[in-house]
Chain A
Amino acid sequence: KAGVTQTPRYLIKTRGQQVTLSCSPISGHRSVSWYQQTPGQGLQFLFEYFSETQRNKGNFPGRFSGRQFSNSRSEMNVSTLELGDSALYLCASSLSLAGGMGDTQYFGPGTRLTVL
């Protein structure tokens, strides 16, 4: 089975621009979660999508948004980029079976975003 894929792998943008990152989950996985990883803040949860609905959200400003398509692929968008948005953005997919506390998230290679 193919793993989680993320495109693009690297991005360079300037302040004020917007960016869209894409994530394709493992086949059969219905949940996609997004995380931001920075040296200062570590790994922080952005949001999670399941069946095209945002099911959970972290503490990020409204500039960060996402969506999920019917094939479970997900995109996240960051508008009006700031220097502090420079980070590794990781997406993870899981089966998300009901009641599955052990529902394991499998991560993609990440998109490294640099904002100049």
Chain B
Amino acid sequence: AQKITQTQPGMFVQEKEAVTLDCTYDTSDQSYGLFWYKQPSSGEMIFLIYQGSYDEQNATEGRYSLNFQKARKSANLVISASQLGDSAMYFCAMREADSWGKLQFGAGTQVVVTP
């Protein structure tokens, strides 16, 4: 069964606008971690932000913030003030307890920022 679901295959966003990328996850573990990565067309995966299951505050990193709703098992990424350089594929990933070194990824959302 799919552990990470990203329902938006692609989206367009205008420069300077905010965009929310959806991510829902499925786990029975109490301890887990959620990550977002960006993959430009060059292929390299770039770490953006992390949220732990026990973190009470939503994670923020610069223009990135994570809207973590534990009861709904969702971890949406919000990118504020989009820039042209934000055009990329975005992946949500989860690490479950005791799954050393293993991230489970969603299918990704392709974001295109337009001028």
The closest CB in chain B to the CB of A101 belongs to: B33
The interface size bin for chain B is 20 to 34
Question: Is A96 part of the contact surface with B, judged by Cβ < 8 Å?
Answer: yes
Cα–Cα distance between A105 and B45 once the two chains are bound (Å): 10
Q: Evaluate contact between B35 and A58: CB separation under 8 angstroms.
A: no
The minimal Cβ–Cβ distance linking A69 to chain B, given in whole angstroms, is 17
Cα–Cα distance between A6 and B51 once the two chains are bound (Å): 28
Question: Is A72 part of the contact surface with B, judged by Cβ < 8 Å?
Answer: no
Q: Evaluate contact between B43 and A112: CB separation under 8 angstroms.
A: yes
The closest CB in chain B to the CB of A112 belongs to: B43
Interface of chain B residues 37 through 63 with chain A (CB within 8 A): 37, 42-47, 50, 52-53
One of B31, B35, B97, B106 near A104 (C-beta < 8 A): B35
Q: Evaluate contact between A56 and B44: CB separation under 8 angstroms.
A: no
Question: Is B105 part of the contact surface with A, judged by Cβ < 8 Å?
Answer: yes
One of B43, B53, B91, B103 near A45 (C-beta < 8 A): B103
The interface size bin for chain A is 20 to 34
Over the window 83-108 of chain B, the binary record of Cβ atoms lying under 8 Å from chain A Cβ atoms (1 yes, 0 no) is 00000000101010101111111111
Cα–Cα distance between A106 and B93 once the two chains are bound (Å): 13
The minimal Cβ–Cβ distance linking A66 to chain B, given in whole angstroms, is 11
The minimal Cβ–Cβ distance linking A58 to chain B, given in whole angstroms, is 7
Residues of B within 8 Å of A106, CB to CB, are 47
Q: Evaluate contact between B108 and A42: CB separation under 8 angstroms.
A: yes
**Chain B interfacial positions (CB closer than 8 Å to A):** 31-33, 35, 37, 42-47, 50, 52-53, 91, 93, 95, 97, 99-108
**Chain A interfacial positions (CB closer than 8 Å to B):** 31-33, 35, 42-43, 45, 47-50, 55-56, 58, 88, 90, 92, 94, 96, 101-110, 112
